[in-house]
Amino acid sequence: MSDGHAVRAEGLEKRYGDKRALDGFDLAVREGTVHGLLGPNGAGKTTAVRILSTLIRLDGGRAEVAGLDVARQAREVRARIGLTGQYAAVDEVLTGRQNLEMFGRLFHLGGGRARARAVELLEQFDLTDAADRGVGKYSGGMRRRLDLAASMILAPAVLFLDEPTTGLDPRSRGEVWDSVRALVASGTTVLLTTQYLEEADKLASRITVIDRGRAIADDTPDGLKNLVGGDRIEVVVAERADIPRAVKVVARVCEGEPEADEDASRVHAPVTDRVAALTEVARTLQDEGVAVEDIGLRRPSLDDVFLRLTGHRTDRTGTPEKEAVAA
């Protein structure tokens, strides 16, 4: 079932009483890529990751990870994967080096190999200078990178990252992103669940959107954005009374039907010839004497896609997913 895919799920089902956490969920993650899994709170993201990482059993369907069946070959699957949850699992009393050596011993590497692997990972994740410092003194980004390093003790073929940057500041989040890119460059496949749409846009080569336990879209980030109509031109007029005239100008220049947002004094419409349309609209508005506060081209965002597909925007504060019985 793998055919070049590191993860493949078909018709996954998971029930908690009369609640369906997964209801025929499908997923295909190509080897050596970052694949994003997006969805609102309670959509089933964490449940899917827990099934694929053998933490809970599926009730229906089938899934393979690294070419192994998660139901029949759970032990073998665990030897090929890494998992990083929403919160760092490292010990804050120990140093970074001690943490990694401890994880190595837990994975039965033996003392010498555990020490050597800790040195390799500290260098790989740019933590060598802080290796002998207590983790309690690490920044959020450093602690998260150490957590990623711990999940890579056995150099897994597949790494599951369940909202890995929740609560981090932008700088720390960027540090984690760099570490994830380095992992993929070395051959690891990453399945990333996140509510930060910017994170999925920057890291993932393909994204699956899940809602109510089902995959409702699966495409590249650009492919998903095209679902909401491609590039748009936006005009914000200085006077709300000029909105009708701005609508007429935009309608003459742009291919699609303009839309007006009177509360924001904004007119927007889809375009194909982006630069030419922007230049013509700006010139014509000036000729018509329409005062403009702002004018520009805007690409759809994943937030626009999310709104179109699910009916609401994601929680961009990064609040951890609470799947209640679905977790």
Question: Dihedral through CA 48, CA 51, CA 56, CA 58, nearest 10?
Answer: 90
Residue owning tokens 């179109």: 308
Report pLDDT for 129: 95
Neighbouring-strand partners of residue 241: none
**Residue 306 DSSP code:** H
Q: Which of 70, 33, 30 lies closest to 48, judged by CA? A: 70
Which residues 6+ apart lie within 8 Å of 96 measured at CB? 90, 122, 127, 130, 131, 132, 133, 135, 138, 142, 146
Distance CA 31, CA 114 (A): 27
Distance CA 45, CA 216 (A): 13
Report pLDDT for 323: 41
User: β-pairing, 214-219 with 292-298?
Assistant: unpaired
230-260 as b/e, with b when 16 or more CB fall inside 10 Å?
ebbbbbbbeeeebbebbbebbeebbebebeb
Report pLDDT for 312: 63
| CB neighbourhood size of 220 (10 A) | 12
Q: What's the sign of the alpha-carbon dihedral 191, 7, 58, 51?
A: negative
DSSP H or E run through 288: none
Q: Which two tokens stand for residue 135?
A: 């983790």
pLDDT tens across the length of the chain (327 residues): 457 899 999 999 999 999 999 999 999 999 999 999 998 888 899 999 999 999 999 999 999 999 999 999 999 999 899 888 766 678 889 999 999 999 999 888 999 999 999 999 999 888 999 999 999 999 888 988 898 888 888 888 999 998 888 777 888 788 888 888 988 998 999 999 987 888 899 999 999 999 999 999 999 998 888 877 778 899 999 999 999 999 999 998 887 789 898 889 999 888 888 889 899 999 999 999 999 999 998 887 788 788 788 776 555 444 333 343 333
User: What pTM was estimated for this model as a whole?
Assistant: 0.76
